[in-house]
Structure 1
Amino acid sequence: MTVRESSAQIEQQAAMWAARLDARVLTAAETADLDAWLAGDSRRLGAWAMARAALARVELAQVAQDDSPHEDAPVATRPSAFDRRTLLRGAGLALAASAVGAVGLGLLGQGQHYATGKGEMLRIALDDGSIVNLNTASGIDVQFTAEQRTIYLRGGEALFDVAKDAARPFVVVAGDARVRAVGTAFTVRHEARRPIDVIVSEGVVEVSEPRAAPVRVGQGMRAMVDPRAATPIETAAIAPEMIEQELYWREGKIAFRDTTLASAAAQFARYNDERIVIADPALAQETITGLFVANDPRGFAEAVAQSLGVVTRIEGNSILISPT
């Protein structure tokens, strides 16, 4: 009996191929081996795209670090492990930087409000040196005083890269949750009828809620805050590659790893008015792995069609994916 490869094994093999191609030009035999490997399992196409994209991100970060005049410039994070070149170009998988709906840079003072529409992202430089990246359909209010820096996340998702200032704590308020930091990097996602999600990618934050004692959450940890739950604050470890996957939205991309088509369609709905509809319940539970442009649902649907052998068609404002 043939044992089906695990996702981890596929990602490891994809990372090896990506590193080999980055180091030198492949021989004709190696190119044939790579093509055969990609054709052997539909999951490998997505893993290959992820590996190439992760490698590109590290190279860009290294260039930025080399060009930086500061000794304490940030070090690139460890990439997660993943084209068939024609498929990636035709289907819109993201191997190069993509245009993001609305990218901006502003200097904020007291009492400022910033927001993004659906499919837009916004990069904001605060006057204390902190950086805020707003995801799609998100909004913040900024209130700085001599004693405290406060951000009110009215809805949506934001990544905070906080400048160190021990005399002025940096506090993000999202619903009933408060996230307090001095110098760190973390994301907060605040959506209706969902727990507030906090992911710490660097440093330590303190998460609090009116009914619970404050909880310290360190790098590589996630906190879910739900005032309706018996335990309002739940924490768990999150792997570095999952943190990286969660943060691809900064580049206008969505990363999936063994994600069901139903869940992927819901993710695309956050960024687009054109909806992906999975016509068959069994098909909706099929999984996809890969890196996609967030504002290109049609490209995603085409990639699914080629990977799973299904068909797509446009009906009004919907993209229908069906077995036949």
Structure 2
Amino acid sequence: MTPLSNPDRRDLDAEALDWFVRCGEQPTAELRAWLDADPAHRQAYERWTREWSQLDALPSAGVDGLRRQLAADKRQADKPRARGRAFWLAALSRWTPAISALMVGGMAYLAWSQWHTPPALYAETFVTARGEQRDVTLPDGSLLRLDTATRVEVKLYEKRRVVSIPDGQAVFQVQGDATRPFDVLAGPLKITVVGTRFSVRHTVGVPGDDGVRVAVDEGKVKVARAEGWGAYFAAAEVLTPGQQLSASADGDMAPVTPVASAGIAPWRDGMVSFNNTPLSQALAEFERYGATGLHVRNAAVGALRLTGTFDPRNLGNFKRNLPKVLPVQLLPQGDVMEIAPLS
């Protein structure tokens, strides 16, 4: 294969950058066709992928200017005829030196941070079993209420406080300390507060509800992408009392919606609430608290919508009333009951 000349290389880099900005990490059929058309296309695209992936480890101060420039360039790209060869070549000429400078600074920063990051003053992991709830008081005075089948990992540093939720849900009453921000990491999101009360749900094993949900009872929190190059360019959302936000497992955030105080973590009172929730998803939520003895085989039955508040530890009332609110019947099937359509 004949090596590309410098002008051809710049044209190809500009074209690859165009594809990367448009598609990012979500390849389309058109992008795949372009990548498969020539090995040089894939190499150019992978170069941009590697370049941007390096931003994940860089200090945020150095990325702020690049973020603002990208936002301005994307606005310009949305204008008619703006996304031409000249536009992307100009963008390429701006971004490549900026990224290179950040790479050099970032490597120095990483080397420094590996040797100078102080150890956590406090580190502990708390786990609740299926059907168990637990109250935890942290050394800084913050209170955590853990729901069933939940795992939280706590690290307190001199200048910051970090709690990770790999799975489950919890309510936080954060002790105010402006010098030590409190970050909650849940899936693709990072929730940052100073002092407030809020709930975070990240239930990876519940079909249809495996993303993240944040609801604020008091104070305010900032919700943003936790990692990935998109974290530097996506806008953060600030939630105030009576607001909630949901995000998919990929980190796509839905619009902020209102939520009543009673609807923020009703599990604290031993209840679960559903609002137009698919029956199959409701059963998966019940199963987080214990075996239900209920099974759905029919997809149409699983898609039926359920609204109401129930005690997950006492399903007798739920079983008795389910056929009254949905067109189903409960049929014995060995040691379980099948929720079946009416015959």
Instruction: Tell me which interval the TM-score lies in, with the shorter structure as reference length.
Output: 0.5 to 0.7
In the alignment, the residues of structure 2 paired with residue 173 and residue 260 of structure 1 have an alpha-carbon distance, to the nearest angstrom, of 28
My pick for the range that moved more, 143-152 or 312-321, is 312-321
Asked if 1:200 corresponds to 2:211, the answer is no
- Cα offset, 1:270, TM superposition: 2.1
Which runs of at least 4 in structure 1 moved beyond 6 Å after TM superposition? none
Asked if the contact 1:116/1:137 (under 8 Å) is kept, the reply is yes
Q: Tell me the amino acid that sits aligned with residue 330 of structure 2.
A: T
Amino acid at match of 2:257: I
> 1:177–1:208: 8 Å Cα contact kept in structure 2?
yes
**2:318 is matched by which residue type in structure 1?**
F
Deviation, structure 1 residue 292: 0.8
Tell me the residue number matched to 2:23. none
Larger Rg: 2
Cα contact 1:147–1:168 (8 A) shared by 2:
yes
Identify the match of residue 247 of structure 2 among 219, 224, 232. 224
Residue in 2 that maps onto 1:239: 258
Q: Is 1:159 the counterpart of 2:171 in the alignment?
A: yes
Q: How does 1:71-90 map to 2 (within 5 A)?
A: none
Distance 1:283 1:158, change over 3 A: same
5+ residue gaps, structure 2, are 1-120
d(CA) in 1 for partners of 2:292 and 2:215? 29
Amino acid at match of 2:225: S
Measured in 2, the distance between the counterparts of 1:308 and 1:233 equals 32
Residue-by-residue CA offset, 1:218-261 (whole Å, 9 max, x unaligned): 1213141644xxxx4424222223x6335111122111233332
Structure having the higher strand fraction is 1
> Within 1, Cα distance between the matches of 2:136 and 2:249?
28
Deviation at 1:302, TM superposition (A): 1.5
The secondary structure found in structure 1 opposite 2:291 is coil
Over residues 21-65 of structure 1, what are the superposed CA-to-partner deviations in whole Å (9 max), with x where a residue is unaligned?
xxxxxxxxxxxxxxxxxxxxxxxxxxxxxxxxxxxxxxxxxxxxx
Asked whether the equivalents of residues 268 and 276 of structure 1 are also in contact (C-alpha less than 8 Å), the reply is: no
Alignment size in residue pairs = 211
Which of 1 and 2 has higher RCO (CA within 8 Å, sep 6+)? 1
Change in Cα spacing, 1:126 to 1:315, as seen in structure 2 (3 Å) is farther
Where does the alignment leave 5 or more consecutive residues of structure 1 unmatched?
A: 1-108
Q: 1:256 to 1:175 in 2, by over 3 A?
A: closer
One-letter amino acid of the structure 1 residue matched with residue 336 of structure 2: S
> Which stretch shows the higher mean deviation, 137-146 or 200-209?
200-209
> TM-score, normalising length from structure 1?
0.57
CA contact under 8 A between 1:245 and 1:256: conserved in structure 2? Answer: no
